[in-house]
Structure 1
């Protein structure tokens, strides 16, 4: 299974980390300089959960981000999963 949230569709994103060298002017140096930009990946905060849906009378196993879990707590399991097309 891919690292993708079933409800929100959050997935791994690519970003950049900037490497800097030198001492800041404030601290008596000649200033900071960018020497390199390195690619890095930013992963969503995923959890595999078994959620009980009372309307169906059964459990549903889904891979959710932390924000999607908060959405389920707010709107209810049945409404959220139905809107996402999982049930």
Structure 2
């Protein structure tokens, strides 16, 4: 299963984690220094959901991000799915 939201298209992104060492100057040190930059993945909060759509009279199974679930709660299932082009 691809890690992509059906509504928003949110997917796994890549980013970087910066490792630092040293004590800050305002704490009496000589300053912080970057020692390493490591690649990491930032994944969306995906959930598999079965949503009831009253206009269709049936359930629709989707992979949604948490933000997409909030959008469906706010705007309604039918309107959101129609705007996304899923029905």
CA RMSD of aligned residues (A): 0.8
SS at match of 1:29: coil
> What is the Cα deviation at residue 9 of structure 1?
0.3
Q: Do residues 26 (structure 1) and 31 (structure 2) align? A: no
Aligned equivalents of 2:30 and 2:37: distance in 1? 21
Superposition TM-score, scaled by structure 2 size: 0.95
In the alignment, the residues of structure 2 paired with residue 25 and residue 78 of structure 1 have an alpha-carbon distance, to the nearest angstrom, of 56
- 1:10-43 deviation digits (Å, cap 9, x = unpaired): 0011111100011111222111100111111111
Long gaps (5+) in structure 2? none
5+ long unaligned stretches in structure 1: none
Aligned position for 2:46: 46
Question: How far apart, in 2, do the equivalents of 1:2 and 1:13 lie?
Answer: 13
- Matched pairs, number: 87
